[in-house]
Amino acid sequence: MIRSQVTRENYNTYFRPLRLSEMSENHVVLEVNDGFFRDWIKDHYYDLLTRALTQASGQSFTVELKVSDSPVAETTPMPTDDAKPTADIVRINAYSEALDEFPINPHYTFDNFVIGPANQMAHAASRSVAESPSQAFNPLFIYGGTGLGKTHLLHAVAHRIKQSNRDTRILYISAEEFMNQVIQSIKSRTMAALRERYRRTCDVLLMDDIHVLAGKEATQEEFFHTFNALHAAQKQIILTSDQPPQEISRLEKRLRSRFQWGLITDIQPPQFETRVAILQEKANRDGIELPADVSLYLARIIQANVRELEGALTRLSAFASFRRTKLSVDFAKQVLKGLFDKKTKVLSIEQVIQLVADHFQVSVTDLVGKRRFRAIAHPRSVAMYLCRKHVQASFPQLGREFGGKDHSTVLAACRKVENAIVSNDKLRSDIQSLERRLGS
């Protein structure tokens, strides 16, 4: 995270020499060489450090910087401009006219992406685009919850394209940063320069979190014309969002329409077996000795977010290293105690019913009553299906909650929804939207 947000020189100067000295439940101590570096990092990069630690571990940390009693060992410098890494992408600095190169995350490749039923389509589409930019799906729109691998796929595409053609110009940016650049360019009256950079100097545009543009009229206007220019020139566009285009409120209809020109695919929370495989992949990559029972335990308590899953393993590994102990389930329970309690609380049937009622604009009374009109029966079946899947309620229990129905009636309703999801796009979209809201 840090490496992608600062220049190579600043990363080598201020971040590479940092050394982890102490770590407690909510506090990290980092050592620096001298007081000047300590004060500079505190004044300029403290927030970035704390955000990076929070993202990696899944919890908030306070960071203390102290001067080392003995000089911190020198580290191998990053490649210079004369020895560029084999893959790079271009990131536009919001306050600079220049285009700065920075390394792609070396772990975000297709080889390191763990494939499962929840992300199989998004992975296949991304590989297809990487093999034939602007020929397969343009634009490619990937949506899903936070920490499920959308950014990983963006970087993986960039890796693969660069391997095939080193000269390809790839621009990677978040929608928020794009908005900031538009604002800055309006203030400085340099819109022509911004348009030149986006519409003429890139072959592939990778934009994260496009939903951030919702309600930002001027930025949407600018992106609309940028999109048109790139698409007309057969330049590849890949966008990510936490929602599908049709669910992004206050997004202009013309943008929503263009996002649907190519392929829209989603990433869902990984299944249990995929979560275990993700943990094993990270352990192998980082040289962590991960017992099977620990990986099973982590996969059970952290279900909806890959980033939190990997962050928990990172936290465990760091604590085990400091305490010079091996990973075990008991050790994991001790270190992670309280961190994921709120996330793993089981939903109630009442919560699911209320959410479904709001989504379909029907009353809770009708939903749990005995009326059989289709306008009520369909939402009721969806509510039963979601309660069975996410609350793990028994069929008899659901029968009692939904107006005293027989358990076989509930079973039939759940199976009907489960089978219809495969072929009914509208139903599948409704279910996915409801499940994202349940997850949040």
pLDDT tens for each residue of 226-282: 999 999 999 999 999 988 888 887 899 999 999 989 999 988 888 888 899 999 988
* Domain end call among 267, 285, 314: 267
CATH code of residue 309? 1.10.8.60
In this structure, the answer to whether residues 235 and 92 fall within a common structural domain is yes
In this structure, the answer to whether residues 156 and 300 fall within a common structural domain is no
pLDDT tens for each residue of 15-47: 777 888 887 777 888 888 766 667 778 777 777
Q: Is residue 81 part of a domain?
A: no
* Domain end call among 328, 344, 360: 344
Q: Compute the average pLDDT of residues 176-181.
A: 89
Spatial distance between the Cα atoms of 296 and 286, rounded to a whole number of angstroms: 18
CATH code of residue 39? 3.30.300.180
* Domain end call among 233, 267, 301: 267
* Cα–Cα distance list, 395 to 388, 391, 392, 406, 421 (Å): 8, 11, 9, 8, 20
How many CB atoms are closer than 10 A to CB 9? 11
Q: Is residue 401 part of a domain?
A: yes
Spatial distance between the Cα atoms of 223 and 217, rounded to a whole number of angstroms: 10
Q: Is residue 147 part of a domain?
A: yes
Q: Is residue 3 part of a domain?
A: no
Q: Is residue 316 part of a domain?
A: yes
In this structure, the answer to whether residues 223 and 317 fall within a common structural domain is no
CATH code of residue 134? 3.40.50.300
In this structure, the answer to whether residues 313 and 299 fall within a common structural domain is yes
Predicted local confidence at residue 8, as pLDDT? 61
CA dihedral 219, 225, 229, 231 (to 10 degrees): 80
In this structure, the answer to whether residues 261 and 386 fall within a common structural domain is no
Classify residue 189 as left (phi > 0), alpha (psi -120 to 50) or beta: left
In this structure, the answer to whether residues 259 and 118 fall within a common structural domain is yes
In this structure, the answer to whether residues 177 and 261 fall within a common structural domain is yes
In this structure, the answer to whether residues 388 and 409 fall within a common structural domain is yes
Q: Is residue 14 part of a domain?
A: yes
φ, ψ dihedrals at 240, nearest 5° = -125, 155
In this structure, the answer to whether residues 340 and 364 fall within a common structural domain is no
Position with higher pLDDT, 380 vs 286: 380
pLDDT tens for each residue of 151-178: 999 999 998 998 888 888 888 888 988 9
Predicted local confidence at residue 75, as pLDDT? 38
Number of domains in the chain: 4
Q: Is residue 95 part of a domain?
A: yes
Domain span at 329: 272-344
Lowest-pLDDT range, 6-15, 139-148, 290-299? Answer: 6-15
Average pLDDT over the chain, rounded to whole?
82
In this structure, the answer to whether residues 142 and 256 fall within a common structural domain is yes
pTM: 0.61
In this structure, the answer to whether residues 356 and 339 fall within a common structural domain is no
Q: Is residue 143 part of a domain?
A: yes
Predicted local confidence at residue 9, as pLDDT? 55
